[in-house]
Amino acid sequence: METFTKKLSNLLRTLVWYGDYALFKAKQLFTGVKPLPKNIQNILVIELLYIGDVIAITPTIRALKQRFPDAKIDVMLRPSMKDVLTGNPNINKIITCDKQDFEKEFNLLVNKLKGKYDLAVLLHPGIDIGNYKVSKLLKNSGILFRIGCTKVGFLEGKGFFMHRKTKPTLKLKHKVEDNLDVVRTIGADIIDKHLEVYTTKEAQNYIGGLLEKEGITKKDFITVIHAAPQHKTHEWVVERFANVADELIKKYKTKIIFTGSQKDKAYNQEIISLMKEKALNLAGKTDINQFFALIKRADLVISVDTSAMHVAAAFGRPVIALFGAGNPKIWGSYSEKSVVIFKEKESCTSCMKHKCEKDYKCMKSITETDVLGDVKQLLDSN
């Protein structure tokens, strides 16, 4: 369960959100409510966070395309996130920018956008950039109509130059719903809220060749394990990952593949060294598109609270997600073929911190039995 400090900070965060919205509505009493332009031809969507965050905006992009079928939709992302939305049929163009662009090249960025868009949708500006800077960029670029923002942190600006803002709520929502709330302010919504990711033929061929060299064929049952966390508080016990992997091999004759970036290679190898059975470590051997292709190929994905579970959910792959410091009500794998393991009643959870003062009890409360039991349940139901 959440600590008292966390509950208090969430309450203060929500109260600040209500206060900002009240000031916004009060301002509209004097300035009036600007009407939505009748002929929207070009839309800019801004999401300046990371893989999971970017994947979570795909239903929102689809809702905008459904609401404005003739409009071209461009998306602004961090440079390293460009490949996350490659191949999405609802996107016309991807624009990249980062913190440095806002600090040193702001006027150039304004000129790059000036006169090109009828509507801007600000979802998340990135913690290191902030809503004020991004909303100012949209205003200075002369974008006719600007909407945002989703619920943000206690000290973050809430978007000073918006024509629509999301109505505050005490209800805790998944990030997919949080994003959709932004475009609901202009009448855009969608019933089918599935996530979308795509991969190239080249990436699929690369993964096929890589697996073939390791003796893994299309007939093999493949389990992808993404054990390496982005933050220490999302880390499970390496011995337990090793035990789970061994049991899966014994019971399902599965091929185990550990994934991650180059920095995760040693962490994965530590787990493999504790195993009795053989496993493959592909950390650092795939780019984003190839990583997606590998997840698409998997018959089962087991992941800590990180991007792999969102990719698996988008491809409709069965996924087991392990949560502790994060909150699955906001960031859980968004798919019917997913199971979240979250010991909310047994330990302090959802602190959202990157350092722990309680010996990581939230993740340590998850046992091998929990994971193996949920794997059986998930596979039996699919």
Q: What pLDDT sits at residue 36?
A: 92
Q: Are residues 236 and 134 in the same domain?
A: no
- Are 213 and 152 within one domain? no
- Same domain (yes/no): 255, 212: yes
Rounded average pLDDT over 55-81: 97
Mean pLDDT of the chain: 89
DSSP assignment of 307-370 equals HHHHHHHHHT--EEEEESSS-HHHHS--STTEEEEE-TTTS------SS-SSTTHHHHT--HHH
pLDDT band at 43, cuts 50/70/90? very high
Are residue 131 and residue 210 in the same domain, yes or no?
Answer: no
Q: Residue 50 falls within a domain, yes or no? A: yes
pLDDT over 90 at 5, yes or no: no
Name 286's Cβ contacts closer than 8 Å, sequence gap at least 6: 206, 207, 259, 293, 294
Q: Residue 145 pLDDT > 50, yes or no?
A: yes
Phi first, then psi, for residue 165 (nearest 5°) are -130, 155
Same domain? For 348 and 209 the reply is yes
Are both 179 and 211 inside the same structural domain? Answer: no
What is the distance between the alpha carbons of residues 150 and 133, in angstroms, rounded to a whole number?
Answer: 15
Together in a domain, 157 and 14: yes
Say whether pLDDT at 160 is over 80.
Answer: no
Span 356-378, average pLDDT = 84
pLDDT digits (tens, 9 = 90+) for 189-216: 999 999 999 999 999 999 999 999 999 9
In a domain, 175, yes or no: yes
Number of domains in the chain: 2
pLDDT tens figures, 218-250: 999 999 999 998 878 788 999 999 999 999 999
Using the predicted structure, report yes or no on whether residue 8 has a pLDDT greater than 80.
Answer: no
Quick: pLDDT tens for 161-180: 888 888 888 888 899 999 99
Query: Would 129 be classed as within a structural domain?
Result: yes
Round to whole Å and give the CA distance between 290 and 294. Answer: 6
Domain span including residue 322: 201-380
Question: Residue 216: how many CB atoms within 10 A of its CB?
Answer: 18
Same domain for 28 and 173: yes
* Residues 68, 25 share a domain: yes
| Domain membership flag for residue 194 | no
Statement to judge: residues 270 and 374 lie in one domain: yes
Together in a domain, 293 and 338 = yes
Q: Which amino acid is at 95?
A: I
Residue 15 lies in a domain: yes
Q: 104: pLDDT confidence band, cut at 50, 70 and 90?
A: confident
Does residue 339 register a pLDDT over 80? yes
Assign residue 76 the CATH number of its domain: 3.40.50.2000
Greatest mean pLDDT range, 5-9, 279-283, 320-324, 377-381: 279-283
pLDDT given at position 9: 72
Q: Is residue 190 part of a domain?
A: no
Residues 169 and 231 in one domain: no
Would you say residue 140 has pLDDT above 80? yes
Does residue 308 surpass a pLDDT of 80?
yes
Last residue of a domain, one of 156, 184, 212: 184
- Do 96 and 69 touch, CB atoms closer than 8 A? no
Per-residue pLDDT, averaged over 18-46, amounts to 88
For residue 280, give the DSSP letter: E
What's the pLDDT at 153? Answer: 53
Instruction: Specify the pLDDT at position 154.
Output: 47
Most confident of the following: 147-151, 269-273, 353-357: 269-273
**Cβ-based neighbours of 229, under 8 Å, separated by 6 or more:** 235, 304, 305, 306
On whether residue 158 sits in a domain, the answer given is yes
Q: 104: which 2 tokens?
A: 């040193």
Whether residue 82 is contained in a domain is answered as: yes
